[in-house]
Amino acid sequence: MLWALPASAVSAQEITIQHKQGETVLAETPKRVLVQDIALIDILDALGVEITGVPGGDHLYPDYLKQYTSKDYIKTGTLQEPNYEAIAAARADLMIIASRSAVKYKELSRIQPTIDLTPDNLHFLPSIQQNITTLGEIFAKQERAAELNASIDARFEALREAAATVDNKAIVLVTNAGKLGVYGPKSRVSWIFNEVGFTPVIDNIDDRFHGGDSVSYEFILESNPDWLFVIDRDAGIGQSGAAAKLLDNPLIHETTAWKKQQIVYLSPVDAYTIMHGYRSVMNLSEQVLSAPNSAN
C-alpha cells in the first residue's frame, strides 16, 4: 500500500493532503511555493507550476532545470540543511519536501504548511505517478498530470517488451571515489529490475548506502552480466567522473557486457541526484530502452 494519496477538496477552497508524515490542510491553491527536492521541482516544472524558492547548488540541476539556478528564485539552503531565515522571509503558502530534506519536516512545518512526498523505492513508478497526481490535484493541473502519467506508462510498456527480447542478467554499478558498488531491487534505480524486468546477478544486495553494496572487479567478472548499467556518483555530485576509466580494465574486458558493448552509462545527475522526477525517469528510461533495442 502506498503512503501518498491524492489531494482532495473538502470544501469549495480547502485542500487536504495526506502525505508521508501526516495530513496538511491548505485554505486554497498555494501561490508561493518552496520546494526542497529536485525531483519534485522536476515534476512541478513539467506540470507548469510556478515555484518561488528552491535549494542552492548549481551542480544539482541538469540542463532542463538550469533556470532554477538563477537569482529569480529564492535560495532555501541545501537539500539537507534548509536556510530557515530565508524560508521564513519567503512567506510561502506551501513547502514541499522529500527524500534528503524529509528529516527537517518538523522544523519546516512550524514555519509554513509543509508536505513530505518522499517516494518508496519498492514501489518506484507508482510513487512517482502518485506524486504527479497529488501535485496535479493541489495546483489544479489534473489534465496535465494525467498526460505525464500516461507517457510514463507508455515508455515503460515499451521498455518491458524490449527487455524481454534479450539476455537480461544485469548489474547496476555505482562508481564512487574509485570504489565499486552495486544497486539492487530496493535501490534508487530499483525500476530497472522491478519495473522493466532485468534480472539482478544476486538477490541479497545490501544497497542502503550511497555507494551501493561494495564489490570487486573479480565479482563482476564472476557474475558475468549481460548488461552493466553504470552510475558515476562523482559526476552526479558535481565532481570529475571516472566511471569509464575504472571499467576499462582486463577483468571487465572479459565480461559479456563489455564484449557485446552492453555497458550503459546512465545520466549521473538524473540517476543519482534526482531519480524520482518526471523528466529524470523519462530520460533514464530512454537510455535503457535504447540499449536492448540496439542489441536486437
Q: Which domains does the chain have, with CATH numbers?
A: 8-151 (3.40.50.1980), 165-295 (3.40.50.1980)
Q: What integer pLDDT is reported at residue 213 of this predicted model?
A: 85
Contact 130, 18 (CB under 8 A): no
| Contact predicate 194/183, CB 8 Å | no
CA dist., res. 261 & res. 30, Å (int): 49
Strand order in the sheet with 74-75: 74-75, 53-54, 33-35, 94-97, 114-116
pLDDT by 10s per residue, the chain, length 296: 334 445 544 444 789 999 999 999 999 999 999 999 999 999 999 999 999 999 999 889 999 999 999 999 999 999 999 999 999 999 999 999 999 999 999 999 999 999 999 999 889 999 999 999 999 999 999 999 999 999 999 999 999 999 999 898 999 999 988 899 999 888 888 899 999 999 999 878 876 666 678 899 999 999 999 999 999 988 887 776 689 899 999 999 999 999 999 999 999 999 988 999 999 999 999 999 987 766 65
Q: Quick check: 212 and 174 in contact, CB under 8 A?
A: yes
